[in-house]
Amino acid sequence: MYIFYLDDAGSTRNAGEKNLVLGGISVYERHAYWFTSQLDAIASRIDSTNPNNVEFHASEIFSGKTPPWDRFKEKEERIQIIKDVLNVVKRSYGENKVFACVVHKESFPGRDPMEMAFEDLCSRFNRYLSKLYSTSGNRSKGIIVIDESSYETSLQQMASDFRRL
């Protein structure tokens, strides 16, 4: 089983943002513990008293404006944290893949950019699983996990529609 974790950046309603980004990582179920333990170790360096509350959002880390990132006054420190997280992905097993879709909102008037991005990523994830099957006979299934967001309800409905249709 492959776990495909999705998270969004940007807002469909915010006219000041030109793009909406939906990204995720597909992790083979047996690798999830390793992945989590690596990220937990980084989180413990950030907040040893409550590492479970640390979320790695690159834009927040980079800006350094919100806790816990505001404790890191030097931009280089915050950039190193981002690199540390990305290195976990780099060092992970080859079956783990990163997916992302950026939708330039102005290019698609009247369309829901979140729906477009979600459909694109689901299609890519499905193609990845199909390729695994055709090249190696790997019959693994996939499950999509969506991070809590303002789109949670609409993404859940899209996931249901996507599966059904």
Phi, psi of 154 (to 5 degrees): -70, -35
pLDDT mean over 105-119: 92
Q: Does residue 11 surpass a pLDDT of 80? A: no
Q: pLDDT above 90 covers what percent of the chain? A: 73
pLDDT mean over 102-109: 94
Q: Count Cβ atoms within 10 A of the Cβ of residue 15 and give its class: 0-12 exposed, 13-18 middle, 19 or more buried.
A: exposed
pLDDT mean over 93-105: 92
Q: Does residue 74 surpass a pLDDT of 80? A: yes
* Model pLDDT, residue 126: 95
Instruction: Look at residue 140 and give its three-state secondary structure.
Output: coil
Give the contacts of 97 (CB within 8 A, at least 6 positions apart): 25, 26, 128
Q: Does residue 19 surpass a pLDDT of 80? A: yes
